[in-house]
Homo-oligomer: A and B are copies of this chain.
Amino acid sequence: MESPAQPRRVTIVDVARHAQVSTTAVSKVLRNAYGTSPKMRAKVRQAIAELGYRPFAAARGMRGQTYTIGVMLPDIRNPFFPEILDGLTEALDETDYQVLMGPGCNGEAAEARVTEAMIDRGMDGLVLIAPVSPRSHLEQVARTVPTVVVGRHGQSAVYDTVSDDDIAGAALVVDHLVGLGHRRIAHIEHAETDPARMVEMPNALRAEGFRRSMRAHSLEGEAEIVSTTYTQEGGYRGTQQLLTRADRPTAVFAGADIVAMGVLEALDEARVSVPGDISVVGYDNTTFAAFGPISLTSVDQAGRHIGTEAARLLLGRLADRGKPSAQVKLSPSLVVRRTSAPPST
C-alpha cells in the first residue's frame, strides 16, 4: 500500500558525479564563490535541477553557514510584532537566508533558552525583539553570533540596534491631549525597577517621556502614573485602580495598544464612556487600533520599517563582522482616531 521508503537524500557527491565535476566545484557554484567558469556553472546548475538537489543546511553549518536567521520575540500575541516580522522576512526573501522564530519568551530564563538553542543550531545571525535580559547577556550572545537588537535603547559596540524614539512618542501623546484641553492625565506603564533597564527599555522611556512632557506643560502635578505590565490584563487592572481614586483623570495614555485594550475593557465594564468621560491613547498603532469599533488613537512606530532596517543591519554585519556597530532610531508619528476628544468638564 505505502510507497517504498524514499531513497536516501541527494547529496553534493551525486550532483558532482552527474555533472562530471568535483564536489568542490558544486560547492563553489552553490555559494557563488570565486573561481568557476560560466560553462561549469551551467553544467552544475543543470545537474542540480535534474536531480532536485537541495543542500543540507545542517551539514553546511559544520564548516560554513546554515543560512538561517533566528528571531526571538517575547510574545506572539502582541499584535505589534507581526509588523516587524513582515518587514524582516520581506527584506530577507530575496536572499538565501531563511527566518526561523523561537516560541514566545517571557523572562530572562526563557530568553536564554531560546538564544542558546539558536546558537546551538548554528544560526548565522539573530534578531532579538524587545529582549528583557541584562545587557551583559545580550553582549555575550552578540559576541558569539551577529546580532541586531530591536526595540531597546542604549548602544553597544558588539550589536546593532533599531529602535523608535519613545521619548518623542510619549511627547506626541501628551501634546495631543493637552492640545485638546486635558490637564489631569494618567499613564499606565510597565513596572521597571532595575536601574540599568530604566535607560534601555522602551516602556521606561515612554514613562520618562510622559513625565518630561507633562513638566514641559507645567502639569507635573496633574500627572498620574500607574505601574502594571504591558498586557491586556495590566491595562485592565491599572484602570480599575485609577477609577477608585478620588481625582479621576480625563485621559489615559496606555504604554502599548495591548494595554489600551485592557483599559477600554475596564472602562466599558465600569460604564465610563470613551471618549466622552475619558480619552484613551495607545502606542504601536496595531491592526486592532485601526479596527472600526475600537478606533484607538495611537502612536505609530512603523513596525514594518523597523523590520526592514533590522534585516539590512544584520546582512551588513554578516558580510563584514568587523563593521562598527550602528544605532538606527526611527521617529514615531501620532494617528488620531475616535478614542481621544476634548474633556467634557
Q: Which residues of B contact A57 (CB under 8 A)?
A: 117, 120-122
Are the C-beta atoms of B121 and A68 separated by less than 8 Å? yes
Contact with B along A256-272 (1 / 0, CB 8 A): 00000100111011000
Copies per complex? 2
Are the C-beta atoms of A101 and B101 separated by less than 8 Å? yes
- The distance in angstroms between the C-alpha atoms of A59 and B62, with both chains bound, is 6
Please judge, given known A-B contacts A6-B143, A58-B61, A66-B58, whether A268 and B293 are in contact too, CB under 8 Å: yes
The segment from A18-26, A77-85, A159-167, A207-215 found at the interface with B is A77-85
How far, in Å, is A184 (CB) from chain B's closest CB? 24
Please judge, given known A-B contacts A99-B103, A294-B293, whether A157 and B121 are in contact too, CB under 8 Å: no
- The distance in angstroms between the C-alpha atoms of A268 and B103, with both chains bound, is 35
Contact with B along A1-34 (1 / 0, CB 8 A): 1110010000000000000000000000000000
Are the C-beta atoms of A2 and B157 separated by less than 8 Å? yes
Are the C-beta atoms of A58 and B102 separated by less than 8 Å? no
Are the C-beta atoms of A103 and B85 separated by less than 8 Å? yes
Are the C-beta atoms of B287 and A265 separated by less than 8 Å? no
> Given known contacts A82-B104, A268-B293, what 8 new A-B pairs fall within 8 Å (CB)?
A2-B157, A57-B122, A68-B117, A70-B100, A77-B287, A89-B103, A100-B101, A232-B287
Q: What residues make up the interface of A, taking CB atoms closer than 8 Å to B? A: 1-3, 6, 54-59, 61-62, 66, 68, 70, 76-77, 79, 81-82, 85, 89, 98-104, 116-117, 120-122, 143-144, 157-158, 232, 261, 264-266, 268-269, 287-288, 291-294
